[in-house]
Structure 1
Amino acid sequence: MIKITEHPLNPEDVTSTVFSNEAGAVNVFIGTVRGTTKNKKVVKLEFETYLNMAIKEIEKIIEAARHKWPIQHMIIHHRVGTLTVGEIAVVIAVSSGHRKEAFAACQYAIDTLKETVPIWKKEVFEDGEEWVSAHP
């Protein structure tokens, strides 16, 4: 399941969705807004997206992960809008029969999401702002 929303994310909701009796491992990545970047104090992050394309790209990530590893479930939720320090920006949960595959698929998902999904992040500092990692 894919969700891109302006509402706060709940890691427990995402994680509970991937549990199954066949899964021996559940791996979860939670990305949060940190308070400093490059020795600058972060005030907030602003996320924008091209929603339809973002969903299609996340679907590709999930499908590719299913081909690379024997995962059972993968859920990806991402926030858009304005987030403050400490808030959750992304949650990825993966279940598989064994931990190695769950870890690998989860890392693949976040790394590929950051490279290919059209979700843009602007970091707002006390003394300015900067767009980070522009995507296609």
Structure 2
Amino acid sequence: MKPLKAFSRIQDTALTLDSFDQIQTFPECGGIGVFVGTVRNHHEGKAVKALKYTSYAPVAEKMIRQIEQEIQHKYGVAYVRVIHRIGALDIGEKAIIAIAYAAHRREAFAACEEAVERVKHEVPVWKEEFYMDGSSQYVEGCCIRKDDAEKNHVHHHAEKNSAHSDHTHCHH
């Protein structure tokens, strides 16, 4: 078997599908599940101008690789990889790409979806949105997995830090 590509899961340059190994490396796979998340121009009724992702890269890298391994094992898929962008992004730029190769589409879709959900909710990557009105806000994912939701009571609330920004917290 040919060696797989080595690449960072946290990247500060434009994301492309070229980071990933090609499906031809996995002749047993007949399905590819891909998710590409881009920066949209609105959030909760506010016009978004741009955003910035920050991360503690050493921990985020390790956590994404662990998530990939767990999902690969759980769904019995040949390949699961996720890359996440950090830095300043404009509307339309790619923020996250997840890909899964599997024998069949069902496992490819399921593995890809779970990879995105887990990375967005568990990995230390923070998103700051910059709005057209000049304000900005940190938008944090709740660091809680779906299967833990019933065991833990989760509360969401927003606190005003200043006239120009909101900071959303998640407690469990």
**TM-score (normalised: structure 1):** 0.92
Aligned residue for 2:40, secondary structure, equals coil
* Matching residue within 117, 125, 139 for 1:132: 139
| Corresponding pairs, count | 134
Structure 1 segments (4+ residues) deviating >4 Å: none
Partner of 1:123: 129
Matched, 1:8 2:21: no
1:132 partner letter:
V
Q: Distance in 1 between matches of 2:27 and 2:77?
A: 13
Partner of 1:67: 73
Contact 1:120 1:132 in 2 (8 A): yes
1:68-124 deviation per Cα after TM superposition (whole angstroms, max 9, x unaligned): 111111121111000000000111111000111011011100100011100100011
Q: Indicate the RMSD between aligned Cα atoms, in angstroms.
A: 1.5
1:27-86 deviation per Cα after TM superposition (whole angstroms, max 9, x unaligned): 100000001111111111100000010011101211110221111111211110000000
Q: Distance in 2 between matches of 1:8 and 1:134?
A: 22
**TM-score (normalised: structure 2):** 0.73
Partner of 2:53: 47
Contact 1:78 1:90 in 2 (8 A): yes
Contact 2:120 2:141 in 1 (8 A): no
Matched, 1:110 2:107: no
1:3 positional shift: 2.5
Which one scores higher on RCO, CA 8 angstroms, separation ≥ 6?
Answer: 1
Contact 2:9 2:64 in 1 (8 A): no
2:91 partner letter:
V
- Greater C-alpha Rg: 2
Change in 2 beyond 3 A, CA 1:109/1:18: farther
Higher relative helix content: 1
Identity, in percent, stands at: 34
